[in-house]
Amino acid sequence: MENQRELQRVTALKEGIKNIAVHAFQINLLGINAIVLAKQFGEKARAFGVISKELREFSQSLRQQMQGLGTASADLVSLATQQLKLERQLALLQQTALQLKNPTVLGRCIHQSQHTSHALNQHITQAHQSMYTWLEGAYQVCLFGSVIARSAKIEAAYVRDMGTGLTEASDEFADYIDQILPNLEILKKAIRTDA
């Protein structure tokens, strides 16, 4: 039963990962547009162009973190599925052993299955730790991204007289990052309670 809940939690985690990856992709596209816009404004908006490049790099780094987290969660699904299958087999072996007069051979099989189950549980714990490490990395990347987004707002304020395009872009950067941070917190809590 616990492994079924584990599978449900990982499925929910995968949805959260997908949402964050979508935001990272949107930031990347916005960064491309902001670079083009900054070039149109020329030398006065040059710093905004540099910051937009940094935001694109941030989005790529965040996507890498989400890919690592996705791989770790897929590993966890595989391990939890194996564990669930093993638990069912072990229950059948134990039921059969109760009905036999000489369950010695089955006793060895049961012992081996229990040993395998213990090893799988250790791998599941390692998968949780791996997921948490990837998520912590993503969180740190996102905190850096929020600093870059604030810098973009400052730079956009310097060229406000040239139009609102850069201001709107910097606001969108900040909005996307503001949407990502709470999602990362939710994922962190979900993983922490799994471990």
Provide the residue ranges of all domains of the chain, joining segments of one domain with +.
2-194
Per-residue model confidence as pLDDT tens digits over 113-170: 999 999 999 998 898 899 889 999 999 999 999 999 888 888 888 877 766 888 888 8
Task: Give me the amino acid identity at 174.
Answer: A
Give the Cα separation of 195 and 192 in Å (integer). Answer: 5
**Mean pLDDT rounded to a whole number for the chain:** 86
DSSP 3-state of 85: helix
pLDDT score, position 5: 73
Average pLDDT score over residue span 71-100? 88
- Dihedral over alpha carbons 178, 183, 186, 192 (to 10 degrees): -110
Q: Does the pLDDT at position 194 exceed 60?
A: no
- CA 152 vs. chain centroid, Å, equals 25
Check pLDDT > 70 for residue 193: no
Q: Is the pLDDT of residue 8 over 80?
A: no
pLDDT beyond 90 at 104:
no
Choosing among 2.60.40, 1.10.287, 1.20.120, 2.40.50, the CATH entry for 2-194 is 1.10.287
Q: Report residue 29's pLDDT band, with 50, 70 and 90 as the boundaries.
A: very high
* Residue at token pair 């012992």: 111
Token readout for 118 is: 């213990």
pLDDT in tens, 39-51: 888 888 888 889 9
CA–CA separation, 157 vs 155, rounded Å?
5
Q: In this model, does residue 82 exceed pLDDT 70?
A: yes
pLDDT at 195: 46
Q: Is the pLDDT of residue 10 over 60?
A: yes
